[in-house]
Structure formats: C-alpha cells, structure tokens
Amino acid sequence: MNYIVVTTFMKNAMYAFSGDPITYGHIDVIARASKAFDTVIVGIGINPGKQYMFSLEERTEMAQKSLSRFPNVDVVSFQGLLVDYAYEHGVGVIVKGVRTAADFDYENVLHQVGESQKLGIDTHILFARPELAHISSSVVKGIQKEQGLIHEYVPLFVKQCLEAKMSGQYIVGVTGGIGAGKSYVSQQFCQMGNRRGIEVHDIELDRIGHQILGELKQPRYNEVRTQIADAFGQ
C-alpha cells in the first residue's frame, strides 16, 4: 500500500497580482482556490518599474474589502521574486488565473523561471469562467474612463474608488418612501457642496421616469413605453 503525505507546505497557496484594481475575475479565481487549499495568501505585487493608478495602500484596501468574506484568505504586499516570498512563508503552490492562450503561454514562462530557482514551488492553473473571461483591470479602467457601466466588473467599493480616482465623482443614493424627505436631503447635499466649492448634481430619477413615460419622443423611449405596456398593460 502506498501512502501520500500532504504537508502543510502543499496545503497553502499564493495568488499574486497587481490589484489595480481587483475585479470579479480575480475574486472568482481566489474563491475557487480558497476551496482547494487550507490557506490562500493574496499577494499585491510591488514592481518599481510599473506605474499604478492606485497606491499600494489603496490596492490592498480594495482587495481586503473585496475578499473579507473568505476566512482562509489573507491579503499581503510583497516585493521581489514571487517564488522567494512563497518559499519563505511556507507556501508550496502558486495559483494562476488564465483567460486566454496568451495568458497560458506567459504563465508557463513564469512557471519555468520559478522552477529554475529550485525551491520546489508548484503552479496551480485555474482557467477563467467563460462569463468572466473578458474582465480585466485594464478593461474596467477603460470603461470607467468613458463613464460606462462597471458594476458587473467590480464590487461596489471598488467601483466607488474608480469613480473617485478617475472621474472625481462620489455617487450618493438617496431613497425612502413617499414624504420621507428625499428631496430635502438632496437639497441639503447641494447646499453643503456649494458652501464648500464642490460641484454637486441632484439627479431626480422620478423626473427621469416621468420623462421617459411621457415627454420624450425619441424612438428608443417610444420602444420603452411599448415594452412597459406589453408587460403591464396600457
């Protein structure tokens, strides 16, 4: 009879990335790794030759908040060779997320480099789910630059960080029942902003809804009214 001894070294894994910013694609890979290993260390890389949009502290905070629901996942920052950090911290497996064939070839090269260091660190490849394969940090930043929708790409906290960093915006939602004082609160926000020299825009969704249902005559809004009538009746 043969016995396979799984050491703590092989029960711990590390996933490294720049996290500029973290996306749902990254989170999915980390979530799957957390089910396969006892402990997963998420390493935020520090590369002096690379320019980041977010500071190390900001990237770390976004990752920590996005991954807080995974009890066996720790977020750290590191500098230098990934295999050296993994070896020094008792990690035997490096997890890699792969979206494309080009990603696979690139990660294979990095694996060979790691192997050349003779530290016994293995690589665990996780292929991106098809519905997430188009998501990357660069894509998210490109969409935000054009004021597009990114809520399906990143968690809400990361979305807010991108809006603040790239667009200088803080979006605050005001909700409540009829007569709850939504308009008053919104007016107070505007007045506070004006006193501090901060530009504030109050967007009333009720008014937009009324315009779509009645005033606006463009083809798209006529189509929306037809769809509503089909779903709920005239």
195 is catalytic: no
Catalytic residue among 35, 50, 195, 220: 50
Length reported for the chain: 234
Residue 129: alpha-carbon gap to chain centroid: 15
Let me know if 25 is exposed, middle or buried by CB neighbors in 10 A (0-12, 13-18, 19+): buried
Per the annotation, the verdict on 35 as an active-site residue is no
Residues in CB range of 19: below 8 A, 6 or more apart: 26, 44, 54, 59, 60, 62, 63, 137
State yes or no: is 32 an active-site residue.
Answer: no
Catalytic residue among 18, 34, 66, 137: 137
From 59, 96, 99, 159, active-site residue: 99
Q: Rounded to whole angstroms, how far apart are CA atoms 111 and 121?
A: 9
Q: Residue 156 is encoded by which pair of tokens? A: 């809400």
> Which of 26, 59, 96, 159 is the catalytic position?
26
The SS3 of residue 114 is: helix
Neighbours of 167 (CB within 10 A): 12
| Three-state secondary structure of 17-84 | ECCCCCCHHHHHHHHHHHHHCCEEEEEEEECCCCCCCCCHHHHHHHHHHHCCCCCCEEEEEEECCHHH
Asked if 217 is an active-site residue, the reply is: no
Catalytic residue annotation: 26, 50, 99, 137
